Structure 1
Amino acid sequence: MGEINKQSPIDAAHQFIHKYFSYCQGALLAGSVVRGEATETSDLDIVIFDQTISSSYRESLIDFDWAIEVFVHNLSSYKHFFKNDVERARPSLPRMVSEGIILKDVGIMDSIKKEADELLSNGPAEWSAETIKTKRYFISDALDDFIGCSNRGEEIFIANTLAELVSEFVLRTNRKWIGASKWIVRALRQYDEDFANHFVEAFDRFYRTGEKKPVVDLVDQVLEPFGGRLFRGFSLGKK
């Protein structure tokens, strides 16, 4: 981690729990330090289950030489977050609970971990044909803007929009979890390493050289099995 005197993540997490949540019923250490992906700027993601907490909250602080993000829940409030994460297809809390290392447990963590594992295994809900059609339209619209744009600043941000829309489309039509920011690429790699490489290379080439064709070809490749680009005849909200 680049700091010789920095104590280990697990030691720091144990001390944090003892100092701030000594009476909690369960605690986990999750995030990049658990996955072996920690960087110089990584923090500790700690999930707390405490029956005395009236409502869930999240807090950021620095202690024991670490930046720490703590996610505090009582023994039922986490279920609301599980539900919301599943509905938006971004399983942040279920993933943290599933991958997390148990630091404290008074007999509750196995069942909560099992609940998270089952949600992750089931995947997000299948998109309806109407949803797929709507997403095709908005991807097609962004692609047309991208192709026709001659302003470098504007086309960069149109490309960003396309990357988000296309990654979501690929993952959701295959009933896979989506992500935001760095989790876009991670989710694509979990789905299909070859496609993820193709995706990154197409957008990287555009950002480096301004060449649009690899991105355009990629988007057309993704849309083709669902009928290709969509404009004519699309309607939204018409009675």
Structure 2
Amino acid sequence: MDHTAVAERFIAERFPRATIAVIAGSTARGDRTATSDIDLLLIGEGLFDGSAQSEASTHAFGGEIFEVFAYTPEGFREWAERGIQGHRPVIVHMLVDGIAIREDDRLDELRAHWSAVLAEGPRLSTAEALHRRYVITDVLDDYRDATDALELRVLSSVLFERTAELMLLTAGRWIGAGKWLPRRLRALSADRAEALSGPFIAGDHAAFAERVEDELRRAGGRVQAGHVR
């Protein structure tokens, strides 16, 4: 299937006032699977009726599922800045890394600006870094004390996610959700990713706790008494 052609038809029918349209995700990268949808970023001054500035919606069209992220220029700037502040700029990556199939004279300027922002990496404040280390310290102690199988499974998942995020952020790397967290972690360091994920996957609780402790020390160590949040 020509996914660009079906996307163009979808935009013409459902979002005809979009002046920028970018295909992102697995369709843009060329690594679609049987269940892949088409991620589509749309920007346009007159994209919505009324005062709306953004919409995230899912559509069925032409035998495909479209995940649409649609914004006015002001709405895109607002949500892009939120993503930057949260260290997970999904729509910024869509804009910069995706394939443009509809563009106006602002696209190059937008891509240049947000590419520079991405290149700077996330800014982790001292207060946030301390709080992230505090959370990991607290959950790690609970994990080491846990005996219930379900509690262990839940706590290990929380620890993996929080530790991976800390590893990325202290290295000046953007974080990700779902499948993107391990992908970004492996891009940071395949060896450190394997050291953390190996015992996590194997259910080796003692070894996993030690790997978390190692990464906590690398980031500055445990945080408990005296922490104000």
TM-score scaled by length of structure 2? 0.91
CA distance in structure 2 between the partners assigned to 1:197 and 1:37 by the alignment: 23
Residues 1:110 and 2:138 are matched in the alignment: no
Q: Which residue of 1 aligns with 2:181?
A: 184
User: In structure 2, what is the equivalent of residue 229 of structure 1?
Assistant: 222
2:41 is the alignment partner of 1:43 = no
Give the Cα–Cα distance (whole angstroms) in 2 for the partners of residues 134 and 116 of structure 1: 28
In 1: Cα distance, 2:134 partner to 2:104 partner: 51
* Deviations 1:90-117 (CA, angstroms, capped at 9, x unpaired): 0101001011101011322111222221
Residues 1:21 and 2:19 are matched in the alignment: no
Contact 1:34–1:101 (CA under 8 A) maintained in structure 2: yes
Q: Are 2:25 and 1:31 equivalent residues in the alignment?
A: yes
Secondary structure (helix, strand or coil) at the match of 1:76 reads helix
Give the % identical residues: 26
- Matched to 1:16, the amino acid is F
Question: Structure 1, residues 4-47: CA drift from partner, whole Å, max 9, x if none?
Answer: xxx22212111112222333211111111112332111100111
Q: Please list, as runs of the form range in 1=range in 2, the aligned pairs for 1:1-239 lying within 5 A after superposition.
A: 7-52=1-46, 53=48, 54=51, 55-128=53-126, 130-206=127-203, 211-231=204-224, 233-237=225-229
| CA-CA distance at 1:186 after TM superposition | 1.5
For the residues of structure 2 that align with 1:23 and 1:178, how far apart are their CA atoms?
33
Q: Do the aligned residues in 1 keep the contact of 2:167 with 2:219 (CA within 8 Å)?
A: no
Give the C-alpha shift of residue 217 in structure 1.
Answer: 1.7
State the alpha-carbon separation in 2 of the partners of residues 138 and 215 from structure 1: 17
1:38 counterpart SS class:
coil
- 2-side partners of 1:187 and 1:171: how far apart? 8
Of the structure 1 ranges 76-85 and 104-113, higher mean CA displacement relative to structure 2 is found in: 104-113
Distance 1:140 1:34 in 2: 39
* Number of aligned residues: 225
**Distance of 1:74 and 1:32 partners within structure 2:** 24
Q: 1:131 to 1:22 in 2, by over 3 A?
A: closer
Q: Is the 8 A contact 1:202 1:215 kept in 2?
A: yes
State how far apart, in whole Å, the 1-side matches of 2:102 and 2:191 are.
Answer: 39
**Pairwise CA RMSD:** 1.6
TM-score (normalizing by structure 1)? 0.88
Deviation at 1:222, TM superposition (A): 0.5
Contact 1:94–1:119 under 8 Å retained in 2: no
**1:82 match: secondary structure:** helix
8 Å CA contact retained: 1:25, 1:108: no
Once the two structures are superposed, residues 52-90 of structure 1 have per-residue CA deviations (whole angstroms, 9 ceiling, x without a partner) of: 134111111100110001111112220001110000000
* Distance in 2 separating the partners of 1:156 and 1:44: 33
Output the CA distance in 1 between the equivalents of 2:162 and 2:219.
15
Deviations 1:182-216 (A, max 9, x none): 1111121222222222222121011xxxx212211
Shift of 1:226: 4.1
